[in-house]
Structure 1
């Protein structure tokens, strides 16, 4: 009998290990392809290694960290790879959350009240006032315009008017038991409660907050939310997520759902990926590129024991993590790839001078056909929606709320109402005959307009349907203002011949006072990031710093071809020339780093950056170029994401069949060897099959070890034989 058992065990072991050995070479490439590979994404910096950071708020190039018992800290994040703590302040009680508004920071400190901190001097932040209401345990805080919103779990949402930042005035309270998180978009506040669900509230009248809808499908334990466009992502304490449509805030509708690793402490949306942080399992990701078919690839960036996320904030391609045990962490999410052309659009062979992206629509200024609106909802299949037609060329378009401001070649400034989403309505027109209207910039409720040789004009935008002239600055009547950059009370002006000018615009009725100039070159385009100004004069790209000393040159780069347009987005500078498109990393202004240089098939006048694409407007229409990787992007249509290809299988993300053997990478067990092909297994089946084989093995083994039981001898009266 023992020999029989041994034979069975040997047979079971033989079958098991043979099966495992057959499956390992099939399983491993796809198992590894389910992870985020190497050090990307990965942590690139950290501060306060033993501190409890409960929340962070970013106002680039600074972030403010709520440090629980250690108060509030101001951190320089100009270079996210080398963050520097500038100053800190100790506050009464635990600092739980922080919100920013202009020169002030507001902190929620539980029963210790709301603190108002002057953050004008980042090297010495200072407590100004404390609003103390003994019965309220403030846990969350949000600023929206002149309104401060606070959550107290016992009594709900509170609204304060902070038009006088130092003396908040109570407006209204909407009771929500157990409220935990708040997000605001438009004039709607979305508030969660693990006790009662999700609420959408009308805050257009802060003195009369009204309920629009209450969502509690599949339970009420909603704790954290994030909003992207017309979708809201709600996480549940029980470990799953709902995708909720908020196109109509009075009728919240679930569109999809998926499971999570654990209860999320916070959630953010980055392109087509949702990141959520769990205190027990680290940070995870979910592919939402198809919002109605959420793909749960749910990959851990950092495992339990490394990160204890309490709050997540995004800036550009960096994820800032408020860690409950290890301070502030910075994680790099994406890196630039060499841009490659993905598609183009033109309507009736129109020529385009400028482009602005607003939600799902592109607002485009044409060469001689007025303003066009393009529906960008369907990627690679953009649709002409409507246009406001007139024969003048549009040099610049600037979207301002429900209006678009247009600069016209013959010296006109036009305001169009775009609120209906189905047509443009002409609201106002200002003519400055005899000159050209080159550029429009807005700041607050003012429009700054470059009227060529007539100089800079300033208008009141409080009623865009009726622009009110405030003041102007002529400068040189023989030179034309071509571009504008704004930095608080200073306007930087680009002149055709004189170069660069700094102008004091503190008094919009009578601008002037500072007329510091730099460079006697033809400056056509400029952008600024704080006091650093990047500008192009013919073939040179230069960066200067402006201060009480005037302009000082920081660096200059010769590109050997005419520069058409420059644009700063985050910590990157984008440059178009007659033949090329370039991207520079400008974290260190003294030494901009060239990241990409791509040859263009057609020249580009202006550009717009949106998520991971850049839109170039020119004589041949609009061209789209992919500029960043977002992990799940499938560039070549082989059903493998970018991370899967580059860091998993080692295949080319731009080629569906990397080894050229006629089989897509996703279907090829040997995608890098053109001489071998075997059908790739079902990856999901592999994840089920291996554990199943293990279970069968152990059940069989246990049964074999027990053997066949002998029946016990029973003493009866029946005769015994033998």
Structure 2
């Protein structure tokens, strides 16, 4: 019999911290065990464990944020990327920057994580820092990390000691910070309908607002600073978007000098040479010639799928397409970008557990998938079931999944059926086909769980 112990996250801060420490240690051990499996470090038929939201390239390595997992690929041959290692995390990987064998990870509500990636097959968490707001973007200018933390605004972190990063200061901005960039003593924060802020960061302990660019009617997604110009990707209300080029020679009085308007919403961008590479949502990838700041023009486009984020290296664009996965696109000829390969993804993977030849996945909408990896080049889905169905669609969120002995454990919640929250137990006599053995109704939504011996420890929200 499984016994259940609650940890109410709304009442016990100490319990929450203890659980977080346990979860971080568990993630670290799991990542090493998974990286050192008997099959070597090969792409699992090029399937990511979650939606692709972020990517970063350094040399022959590509770092991909796939749901709540950081993955490292060898892209020496971009037509056949090889999975070297991965690090499961508890928050979604929103952004990642790699400098000198350290990965700085924007991990959503879990804060900022610094990981040692000197050995890609054995990624190690060095530190995890909780920050005000939800961390969704990060820029590094040593010895500081400049973080976009939504309601927390622009956050500055001292990363002199990666084992012990320290919060230096933060500035709350209107509508929340989505992305940040910094150059020298100047930082900018893109804030959706809240506009584009510029800050003097010469004193990191007390950043000073210099100006706010009025962007009425537009949603500012991303901005990058280069020299005397800031390049701002935006979406128009209700449709379309574009790229504005802003003269910031005097950052206290920025002014727009160029504007390219298209029928697509522009999301994230990356500057490379004379071009801006833009993830254009339903427009895929759009390449803009920025040789003349006053006259940006479309150089080329790839409209083969969704573009949510982009990073460029060596004439290749790495386009994160959320549930459509990661696409590697050759931009050797910017006028005619060509798709090289697609690394697909599962839809909204919430948590994943590997046991033997199988990977067990809990998803949003709430449900379970079991993937047989006995043939690594051709994984097979052996089990697929959703929990809640109403109004013609599957509902709910699978919050966590684990395997202990011959049993599979799942915690999930739903906003239907009176807000039902469950702890589910499955038998794994046949690991390819979990057998439901019981459901325990929880009094509040689960946040995490651990099973030790015959006791399940479940962290929940306030009742």
Q: How far is 1:233 from its partner?
A: 1.7
Superposition TM-score, scaled by structure 1 size:
0.38
Q: Would the alpha carbon gap of residues 294 and 120 (structure 1) be closer, same or farther in structure 2, given more than 3 Å must change?
A: closer
Cα distance in 2 for residues equivalent to 1:193 and 1:302: 27
Cα distance in 1 for residues equivalent to 2:190 and 2:309: 16
Cα distance in 2 for residues equivalent to 1:243 and 1:164: 36
Q: What is the 5 A alignment of 1:281-296? A: 281-295=283-297
What's the counterpart of residue 254 of structure 1? 256
Provide, for residues 310-349 of structure 1, a one-character-per-residue CA deviation record: whole Å limited to 9, x for no partner. 2111112111112212322211111xxxxxxxxxxxxxxx
Q: Would the alpha carbon gap of residues 278 and 50 (structure 1) be closer, same or farther in structure 2, given more than 3 Å must change?
A: farther
1:154 aligns with 2:155: no
Q: What is the 5 A alignment of 1:250-399? A: 250-295=252-297, 297=298, 299-303=300-304, 307-334=305-332
Q: 2:187 aligns with which of 186, 189, 192?
A: 189
Cα distance in 2 for residues equivalent to 1:224 and 1:288: 16
Cα distance in 2 for residues equivalent to 1:318 and 1:60: 12
Provide, for residues 467-515 of structure 1, a one-character-per-residue CA deviation record: whole Å limited to 9, x for no partner. xxxxxxxxxxxxxxxxxxxxxxxxxxxxxxxxxxxxxxxxxxxxxxxxx
Superposition TM-score, scaled by structure 2 size:
0.58
Q: How far is 1:250 from its partner?
A: 2.6
- Point out which structure has higher relative CO (alpha carbons under 8 A, 6+ apart): 2
What's the counterpart of residue 225 of structure 1? 223
Cα distance in 1 for residues equivalent to 2:233 and 2:109: 27
1:136 aligns with 2:138: no
Q: Would the alpha carbon gap of residues 100 and 275 (structure 1) be closer, same or farther in structure 2, given more than 3 Å must change?
A: closer
Q: Would the alpha carbon gap of residues 207 and 271 (structure 1) be closer, same or farther in structure 2, given more than 3 Å must change?
A: same
1:65 aligns with 2:64: yes
What's the counterpart of residue 211 of structure 2? 213
What's the counterpart of residue 53 of structure 2? 54
Q: How far is 1:269 from its partner?
A: 2.7
Q: Would the alpha carbon gap of residues 309 and 146 (structure 1) be closer, same or farther in structure 2, given more than 3 Å must change?
A: same
Provide, for residues 255-278 of structure 1, a one-character-per-residue CA deviation record: whole Å limited to 9, x for no partner. 011212221221223333332222
User: Is the contact made by 1:56 and 1:65 (CA closer than 8 Å) also made in structure 2?
Assistant: yes
User: Is the contact made by 1:271 and 1:630 (CA closer than 8 Å) also made in structure 2?
Assistant: no
Q: Would the alpha carbon gap of residues 106 and 287 (structure 1) be closer, same or farther in structure 2, given more than 3 Å must change?
A: closer
Unaligned stretches of 5+ in structure 2? Answer: 1-44, 337-463
Q: More helix by proportion, 1 or 2?
A: 1
Cα distance in 1 for residues equivalent to 2:192 and 2:208: 20
Q: 2:92 aligns with which of 67, 91, 94?
A: 94
Q: What is the 5 A alignment of 1:423-442? A: none
Cα distance in 1 for residues equivalent to 2:114 and 2:271: 29
Q: How far is 1:227 from its partner?
A: 3.5
Q: How far is 1:220 from its partner?
A: 5.4
Q: Would the alpha carbon gap of residues 270 and 105 (structure 1) be closer, same or farther in structure 2, given more than 3 Å must change?
A: closer
Cα distance in 2 for residues equivalent to 1:150 and 1:270: 22
What's the counterpart of residue 80 of structure 2? 82
Q: How far is 1:104 from its partner?
A: 2.0
Q: How far is 1:66 from its partner?
A: 1.3
User: Is the contact made by 2:97 and 2:103 (CA closer than 8 Å) also made in structure 1?
Assistant: yes
User: Is the contact made by 1:242 and 1:254 (CA closer than 8 Å) also made in structure 2?
Assistant: yes
Q: Would the alpha carbon gap of residues 630 and 67 (structure 1) be closer, same or farther in structure 2, given more than 3 Å must change?
A: closer
Q: How far is 1:254 from its partner?
A: 0.8
What's the counterpart of residue 122 of structure 2? 124
* Structure 1 residue ranges (4+ consecutive) displaced by more than 4 angstroms after TM superposition: 217-220
Aligned residues between the structures: 288
Q: How far is 1:172 from its partner?
A: 0.8
Provide, for residues 456-477 of structure 1, a one-character-per-residue CA deviation record: whole Å limited to 9, x for no partner. xxxxxxxxxxxxxxxxxxxxxx
Look up the SS of the partner of 1:221 in the other structure.
strand
User: Is the contact made by 1:116 and 1:130 (CA closer than 8 Å) also made in structure 2?
Assistant: yes
Q: 1:244 aligns with which of 234, 243, 246?
A: 246
Q: Would the alpha carbon gap of residues 50 and 283 (structure 1) be closer, same or farther in structure 2, given more than 3 Å must change?
A: farther
User: Is the contact made by 2:52 and 2:325 (CA closer than 8 Å) also made in structure 1?
Assistant: yes
Q: How far is 1:167 from its partner?
A: 0.6
Cα distance in 1 for residues equivalent to 2:145 and 2:271: 24
Q: Would the alpha carbon gap of residues 52 and 171 (structure 1) be closer, same or farther in structure 2, given more than 3 Å must change?
A: same
User: Is the contact made by 2:127 and 2:165 (CA closer than 8 Å) also made in structure 1?
Assistant: no
Q: How far is 1:219 from its partner?
A: 4.3
Q: Would the alpha carbon gap of residues 103 and 222 (structure 1) be closer, same or farther in structure 2, given more than 3 Å must change?
A: same
Look up the SS of the partner of 1:100 in the other structure.
strand
Cα distance in 2 for residues equivalent to 1:65 and 1:327: 10
Q: More strand by proportion, 1 or 2?
A: 2
What's the counterpart of residue 610 of structure 1? none
Provide, for residues 106-160 of structure 1, a one-character-per-residue CA deviation record: whole Å limited to 9, x for no partner. 2122222222211121221122332234x52211122211101222211201111
Q: How far is 1:298 from its partner?
A: 6.4
Cα distance in 1 for residues equivalent to 2:243 and 2:97: 26
Q: How far is 1:293 from its partner?
A: 2.4
Unaligned stretches of 5+ in structure 1? Answer: 1-45, 335-628, 632-642, 644-722
Provide, for residues 34-64 of structure 1, a one-character-per-residue CA deviation record: whole Å limited to 9, x for no partner. xxxxxxxxxxxx9436741111122212221
User: Is the contact made by 1:225 and 1:267 (CA closer than 8 Å) also made in structure 2?
Assistant: yes
Q: Would the alpha carbon gap of residues 129 and 50 (structure 1) be closer, same or farther in structure 2, given more than 3 Å must change?
A: closer
Greater Rg over alpha carbons, structure: 1
Cα distance in 2 for residues equivalent to 1:152 and 1:224: 14
User: Is the contact made by 1:48 and 1:326 (CA closer than 8 Å) also made in structure 2?
Assistant: no
Provide, for residues 537-593 of structure 1, a one-character-per-residue CA deviation record: whole Å limited to 9, x for no partner. xxxxxxxxxxxxxxxxxxxxxxxxxxxxxxxxxxxxxxxxxxxxxxxxxxxxxxxxx
